[in-house]
A and B are shown apart, each in its own frame.
Chain A
Amino acid sequence: MATMEIKDRTAIVGIGQTSFGKGLPDTELSLACQAIAAALDDAGIAPREVDGLVMFSMENGREVEVARNLGLGPITYFGEVGYGGGAGCATVGHAAMAVATGQCRVAVAWRARKRAAKTSRPWANVAARVGGSAQWTRPFGLLRPVDEIAMLTRRYMYEYGATRDHLANVALACRKHANRNPNATFFDRPLTREQYMASRWISEPLCLYDNCLETDGALAVVVTSAERARDGKQPPVYIHAFAQSIPPQCQPMTNYFCEDPLRGPAWDCARLLWKKSDFQARDVRVAQIYDAFTPLILLSLEGYGFCGRGEAGPFTEGGALEWPEGRLPINTSGGGLSEAYVHGFNLILEGVRQMRGTSTCQVPNAPCCLVTSGEGVPTSALLLRRD
């Protein structure tokens, strides 16, 4: 059977988002509809033309409700992707595959999330008896995502000599970029290395500033064919390559039970992504890398091939991750650490802005932008390209 490639056959033609905040009064469904409406306006596409929907399995608003509110449809393709923060790029990738194969013509992918209230922390929402994979970890007090990733981080630091200074390099880069983005939660809040080092522990070896924000908000993108995109209202941003991965013996977040826990899902995802791409890691000059926690950036830099295994700590030195001088500016809107944490969907929109030339930390003439979703869980990635 001939392989059907999706390379450059679809494009992101519209992006939209709500404001970010804590304790927003609107429901997640309402936020989703507002973000999608904004993305369709940005694209200049009418709601009735939307015939594809792809969402996170964790989404609270359902496709039928989104369609009924916005007046979409008829919808001929809909689907969802699991594993929380790993799903973002995959929702866009599935939209691209659906458009490229003719299952729909205009697809929308989105994420709406309310997490800024203390009562909405999912790790706190557990029964006293835990089953499934959690029974091997939670009774011992390994309760939160930060504890689970801290366990990998300690081992990583032990094996490779990475330091808290390396983690701080990630946090400080994201904060510097947020300080140029008026929409970022921490737009007006600079961060110093001294503040980082003096901050309280959350789960040693990770401190407060190794953790992402908790944010209420929603974001959406509109995907259609490359042909239509060329006549669109916005400069087309092509979906050049897309990949997902569940590596062998993967256990989400608590990936301690496989042969090589520090070789996370990013590695297999990267292998397919670069195989499908005309670009390789050495060609990438700007990237949006999933950052629920700072060490995920180190693991991802290795997985996606920007440096060798164990070399990500030193790779971050000398401002390498910082705009404008660094060799690989990351998370140029501030990322999950300093712009907003909406399960990494804001990284996708920033990737689009980089390719449009509208970022507040614009990297000039970058031919492509890598966007990744959650490391440590079944994951996904996109390589976006401009004309």
Chain B
Amino acid sequence: MSEQWLVPDVEDPDSAPFWQAAAQGQLVVQSCVDCGQRRFPPRPMCYRCRSLRHHWQPLSGRGTIWSFVVPHPPLLPAYEAVAPYNVIVVAAAEDPALRFVGNLVESPEAPFHQTNLDRLQIGAPVRVVFQQVEGIYLPRWVLDPSER
């Protein structure tokens, strides 16, 4: 049983460019070179036109909370130690069917488990931030009052 935070396998060939972009502070998705269809999570083939050619397109990093949960124990030790905490799904501003799992944080530096849970609300506008965990940058989200 893992005692540490879980982190993505950033050497996964399909998704490595996503994590590399995250380390540069950019939220990217695959975009088909041939038909323009955007897709996430990453995969080799465009499901609309079967093209194998894609580039990585930066998104604005803005979206809205689509749903959220608050896990309580029993959990893996690292997560149990900070529970209850929030996990959210964000729908991207560019296309609400592009969704990302993350956490709501109070500020770009704040730990995800110290968020005031009363702030969680479906439909709330959010903006991406990137937080380093064991050398890997994870996309997390802050409320974006400018969009209110």
Partner of B71 from the list A154, A158, A203, A256 (CB cut-off 8 Å) is A203
In whole angstroms, what is the CA distance A259 to B98 when docked? 9
A residues near B12, Cβ cutoff 8 Å = 131-132, 135
Binary CB contact string for chain A from 226 to 253 against chain B (1 if under 8 A, 0 otherwise) = 0000000000000000000000010100
Tell me if A125 is interfacial: C-beta within 8 Å of chain B. Answer: yes
**Is the Cβ of B9 less than 8 Å from the Cβ of A140?**
no
Tell me if B100 counts as interface (CB < 8 A to partner A).
Answer: yes
Q: Of all chain B residues, which has the CB nearest A121?
A: B74
Kindly list chain B residues whose C-beta atoms are within 8 Å of the C-beta of A251. Answer: 41
- Determine whether the beta carbon of B75 is less than 8 Å from that of A126: no
Q: Mark A112-139, 1 if CB is under 8 A from B, else 0.
A: 0000001000001111111111011111
| B7 contacts the other chain (CB 8 A) | yes
B133 touches A139 (CB 8 A): yes
B89-103 near A? 1/0 per residue, CB < 8 Å: 100000001111111
Q: Is B69 a contact of A140 with CB atoms below 8 Å?
A: no
B70 touches A140 (CB 8 A): no
- Which chain B residues in 1-58 approach chain A with CB under 8 Å? 1-2, 4-9, 12, 15, 40-41, 47
Per-position contact with B for A332-361: 1 when CB-CB < 8 Å, else 0? 000000000000000000000000000000
Instruction: Report whether B85 and A141 are in contact in the complex, using a CB–CB cutoff of 8 Å.
Output: yes
- B110 close to A (CB within 8 Å): no
Contact B71–A151 (Cβ < 8 Å): no
Q: In the bound complex, do residue A154 and residue B68 qualify as a contact, i.e. CB atoms below 8 Å apart? A: yes
Given the complex of chains A and B, what is the CA–CA distance between A126 and B40 in angstroms? 23
Contact (Cβ within 8 A) A142 B2: no
Taken together as a complex, chains A and B put the C-alpha atoms of A140 and B70 apart, in Å, by: 12
A152 interface residue (CB < 8 Å to B) = yes
Residues of chain A with a CB closer than 8 A to B1's CB: 124-125
Interface size on B, residues (CB 8 A): 40
How far apart are B114's CB and chain A's nearest CB, in angstroms?
13
Q: Report B-chain residues with C-beta under 8 Å of the C-beta of A127.
A: 2
Contact partner, B84, options A125, A132, A140, A204, Cβ 8 Å: A204
Return A374 CB to nearest CB of chain B, in Å.
19
Chain A hits for B103, CB < 8 A: 140-141
Query: Nearest chain B CB to A136's CB is how many angstroms away?
Result: 5
Asked if A150 is at the interface (CB within 8 A of a chain B CB), the reply is yes
Shortest C-beta distance, A210 to chain B (Å), equals: 12
Interface residues in A, total, Cβ within 8 A = 41
Q: Could you tell me the distance between the alpha carbons of A30 and B102 in the complex, rounded to whole angstroms?
A: 43
Cross-chain contact A142 with B8 (CB below 8 angstroms): no
How far apart sit A203 and B102, CA to CA, in the bound complex (Å)? 16
Which chain B residues in 103-143 approach chain A with CB under 8 Å? Answer: 103, 112, 122, 133, 138, 140
A128 near B7 with CB under 8 A, answer: yes
Which residues on A sit within 8 Å (CB–CB) of B84?
Answer: 201, 204
Chain A residue numbers with a CB within 8 Å of B7 are 128-130, 139
Contact B102 A201 (CB under 8 A): no
- List which B60-93 residues lie within 8 A (CB) of chain A: 66-72, 74-76, 79, 84-85, 87, 89
- Closest chain A residue, CB of each to CB of B113: A141
**Residues 137-170 of chain A: 1 if any B CB is under 8 Å from the residue's CB, otherwise 0?**
1111111100100111011001000000000000
Q: Contact between B101 and A126 (Cβ–Cβ < 8 Å)? A: no
Instruction: Evaluate whether A140 and B101 lie within 8 angstroms (CB atoms) in the complex, with A154-B122, A203-B71 already known.
Output: yes
Contacts of A200 in B (CB 8 A): 72
Closest to A207 in B: B72
Please, how many angstroms separate the alpha-carbon atoms of A38 and B122 in the complex?
Answer: 51
Does any Cβ of B come within 8 Å of A362's Cβ?
A: no
Verify if A294 is at the interface (C-beta below 8 Å from B): no
Given contacts A143-B76, A151-B67, A155-B122, contact A128 B102 (CB under 8 A): no
Q: B-facing mask of A30-70, CB < 8 A → 1, else 0?
A: 00000000000000000000000000000000000000000
Q: Which residues of B contact A152 (CB under 8 A)?
A: 67
A139 touches B41 (CB 8 A): no
Residues of A with C-beta under 8 A to B69: 142, 147, 150-151, 154, 203-205
A256 contacts B66, C-beta separation under 8 Å: yes
A249-B72 in contact (CB<8A): no
CB contact under 8 A between A142 and B101, given known A135-B9, A155-B67, A249-B47: yes
Looking at the assembled complex, report how far the CB atom of A212 sits from the nearest CB atom of chain B, in whole angstroms: 15
Contacts A136-B41, A257-B41 given: A201-B138 contact, CB under 8 Å? no
Q: Who on chain B is nearest to A138 by CB?
A: B6
In whole angstroms, what is the CA distance A127 to B8 when docked?
A: 10
Question: Which chain B residues border A144 with CB–CB below 8 Å?
Answer: 71, 75
Cα separation A126 to B75 with both chains bound (whole Å): 12
CA–CA, A127 and B68, complex, Å: 25
- The residues of B that contact A204 with a CB separation of less than 8 Å are 69-72, 84
**A interface, CB within 8 angstroms of B:** 118, 124-133, 135-144, 147, 150-152, 154-155, 158, 200-205, 249, 251, 254, 256-259
A to B CB contacts below 8 Å, 5 in the list: A129-B7, A136-B41, A142-B101, A203-B71, A256-B66
